[in-house]
């Protein structure tokens, strides 16, 4: 039978009982904390439980804030409950572990291309950050990762499969990845940490809001491709008689500037042959 203020009466004795929030169970390897108050008198139990409850809830807030090291968290927990927590270690989950869970959770709804892109991005993140414990990831960790990321070329593993990150960074003449590509990796890292919080194995998403600002104007973004680049794209558009839309939709988009949904709504009768007026 539960009483107010996390007070439990069991076989005539009173206990302090509180469930550990799911997002903190990585630090306290138990679903609940129970402590005997060593009294059968309810009034005495209520006097004991008030400061005990205050200290536990304060500890929860400190741990959740993410400002304590693992040693400080362990010391805090063991100091409050030396008998229950002595010798017990918090559950640890590595970056690679949550990546595996994330992929397994989403892959049923992904296209093959999406899975390849996400797993490649995760491999790069793990290579740069190391296979850290989730509790060891701080804001500085994310900032250091981003600083290294923006100095690397796109598709590094394909371009330099036999070189380490340090070797690539020391090379001259490297064209770094674009802001767009950098932000894709940052977005995937943020999604991963958001998933970790939902799973109760992380408390803070330090990658959220860490994407770079693209300072280019809209007209500069549209000038990314040169005329030669566009001609190469046109030459490589598939020409399949069974799927003519895959040829004509890109061409209509290139020459008209129409949006994809506008092109797909066109009918044959909407097409007119245009001839310049002769003088």
* Alpha-carbon dihedral angle through residues 251, 256, 258, 264, given to the nearest 10 degrees: -40
Q: Which of 214, 237, 260 is the last residue of a domain?
A: 214
Rounded to an integer, the average pLDDT of 258-266 is: 87
User: Residue 35 forms beta bridges with which residues?
Assistant: 16
pLDDT band for position 4 (cuts 50, 70, 90): low
Residues 141 and 183 grouped into a single domain: yes
Residues 127 and 198 grouped into a single domain: yes
Cα gap 193→208, rounded to integer Å: 9
206 in Cβ contact with 138 (< 8 Å): yes
Cα gap 143→207, rounded to integer Å: 8
- CATH number, domain containing residue 205: 1.10.150
How far are the Cα atoms of 183, 197, 271 from residue 132, in angstroms, in the given order?
Answer: 21, 16, 58
Place of tokens 């994809």: 260
Rounded to an integer, the average pLDDT of 43-50 is: 85
pLDDT band for position 219 (cuts 50, 70, 90): low
pLDDT band for position 135 (cuts 50, 70, 90): confident
Query: Does residue 279 lie within any of the structural domains?
Result: no
* Residues across the chain: 279
Query: Does residue 179 lie within any of the structural domains?
Result: yes
pLDDT at position 92: 66
* Alpha-carbon dihedral angle through residues 241, 243, 246, 247, given to the nearest 10 degrees: 10
Q: Which of 85, 119, 137 is the last residue of a domain?
A: 85
Task: Indicate the number of domains in the chain.
Answer: 3
Residues 114 and 152 grouped into a single domain: yes
pLDDT at position 145: 93
Task: Look up the domain containing 21 and give its range.
Answer: 2-85
Query: Is the whole-model pTM more than 0.75?
Result: no
pLDDT at position 85: 46
Residues 6 and 68 grouped into a single domain: yes
pLDDT in tens, 151-163: 999 888 788 888 8
pLDDT at position 149: 92
Query: Does residue 220 lie within any of the structural domains?
Result: no
Query: Does residue 91 lie within any of the structural domains?
Result: no
95 in Cβ contact with 129 (< 8 Å): yes
């Amino acid at each position: 039978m539960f009483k107010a203020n996390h007070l439990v009466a069991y076989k005539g004795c009173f206990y302090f009982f509180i469930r550990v929030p799911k997002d903190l169970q990585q630090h306290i390897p138990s679903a609940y904390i129970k402590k005997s108050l060593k009294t059968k008198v309810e009034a005495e139990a209520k006097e004991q439980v008030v400061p005990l409850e205050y200290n536990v809830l304060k500890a929860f807030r400190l741990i959740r804030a993410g400002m304590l090291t693992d040693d400080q968290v362990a010391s805090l927990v063991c100091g409050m409950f030396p008998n229950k927590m002595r010798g017990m270690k918090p559950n640890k989950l590595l970056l690679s572990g949550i990546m595996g869970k994330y992929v397994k959770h989403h892959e049923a709804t992904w296209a093959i291309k999406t899975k390849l892109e996400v797993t490649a991005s995760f491999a790069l993140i793990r290579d740069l950050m190391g296979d850290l414990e989730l509790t060891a990831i701080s804001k500085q960790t994310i900032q250091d990762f981003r600083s290294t990321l923006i100095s690397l070329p796109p598709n590094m593993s394909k371009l330099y499969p036999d070189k380490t990150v340090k070797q690539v960074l020391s090379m001259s003449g490297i064209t770094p990845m674009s802001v767009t590509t950098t932000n894709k990796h940052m977005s995937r890292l943020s999604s991963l940490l958001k998933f970790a919080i939902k799973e109760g194995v992380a408390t803070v998403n330090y990658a959220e809001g860490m994407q770079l600002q693209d300072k280019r104007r809209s007209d500069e973004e549209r000038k990314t491709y040169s005329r030669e680049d566009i001609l190469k794209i046109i030459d490589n558009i598939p020409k399949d008689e069974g799927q003519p839309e895959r040829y004509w939709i890109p061409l209509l988009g290139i020459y008209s500037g129409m949006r994809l949904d506008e092109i797909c709504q066109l009918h044959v009768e909407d097409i007119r042959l245009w001839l310049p007026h002769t003088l």
